[in-house]
Amino acid sequence: MNRMFPKIKENIKNHNIIFIFLKTARDYAFYALNKISNYQLEKIRFYKKVGYHLNLNYPKSYNEKIVWKKIYDRNPLLPVTTDKYRVRSYLKEILGEKKAEEILIPLLYVTNKPETIPFERLPSAFIIKPNHTSGQNIIIKNGHFEKKQMVKTCRRWLKTTYGLEKLEWANQINRRKIIIEKLLIDDDGKIPKDFKFHMFHGKCKLIRVIFDRINIGSASTFDEKWNFLSVKKLHRPQGPKIKKPKNYKRMLELAEKLSVDFDYVRVDLYNLNGKIYFGELTHYPASGTKKFDPISFDYELGQHWKIEPEYWKNNQTLKK
């Protein structure tokens, strides 16, 4: 019986209309049930994932404050910077057009009509993804792909909600698009190391370095002074100690500038042969349900984050 469900799920997924209808109905049902039950479904999910009860009235841990942010933080810049296309304009606003272009991954094509994608003009290596989701992408390294299936997948992405059942307000983006970018590849033929700067009130308190992120590789954790921390999240093995990048100071400066409008945000940067590339701004990492080892670090990290409702109302970027 257990082996039947993955097959049923895959059959439904292969029929786009049925899959989109069922997923959308499920997402709205979860959202509505959470709203009318004082977020009981979210509290149950949190306990199952993290191992302790969610306190929304007095959040103390990092994970609790992520969930609080999902439910209560309505900073208008959250959906702007979650959008993988519009965030490019935000970078130009904050850094200036020239400085932003230096770190933006080259954009090859953007559309809301997948059938118009000029596959014949694309390079042999590229990445294609929707602007409103996380973790959904197609990586092409050698120019070999099935055009018809790719278009079908893109159409499904555009018609599918994301994060609604997890209360991720910033991901409810109306102008959905497909974006195609140049694929970054290191000398070993892998996606370059992903440096994730956890920024609290504009200051870095934690850096996670992800190795071979596509294949769920290892991860190493450092503080802002690049001291190695024996902390891990349970879905990834502990990574190695590595030397501080030579351009670490510049990476940190960029993370600080890109986090100024938020009480908390994770700034993702790549470092490819000494050149820095912008990855994304992430406001709800793991939707607030990644278990730390040791669990005490969850609370230690949460101490850096002071919850201030409507902190963004004096935001200078919004006043421009």
Which pLDDT value is given to residue 8? Answer: 47
For the chain, which ranges sit under pLDDT 50? 1, 4, 8, 11-12
Kindly report the average pLDDT of the chain as a whole number: 90
Q: Is 150 exposed, middle or buried (0-12, 13-18, 19+ CB in 10 A)?
A: middle
Q: Which residue type is seen at 82?
A: T
Question: Is the entire prediction scored with pTM above 0.85?
Answer: yes
Which pLDDT value is given to residue 256? Answer: 98
Which pLDDT value is given to residue 319? Answer: 62
Cα dihedral 14/20/24/30 (nearest 10)? 0
The Cα–Cα gap between 194 and 280 comes to: 11
The Cα–Cα gap between 102 and 277 comes to: 8
Instruction: Provide DSSP, 216-277.
Output: T--EEEE-TT--EE--EETTS-B----PPPTTHHHHHHHHHHHTTT-SEEEEEEEEETTEEE
Q: To which H or E segment does residue 194 belong?
A: strand 194-200
Which pLDDT value is given to residue 54? Answer: 97
Q: Is 7 left (phi over 0), alpha (psi -120 to 50) or beta?
A: alpha
In order of start, what are the domains of the chain with their CATH numbers?
53-104+189-320 (3.30.470)
What b/e readout covers 30-39, taking b as 16+ CB neighbours within 10 angstroms? bbeebeeeeb
* pLDDT per residue as tens digits for the range 296-311: 999 999 999 999 989 9
Q: Which of 187, 206, 210 is nearest to 270 (CA)?
A: 210
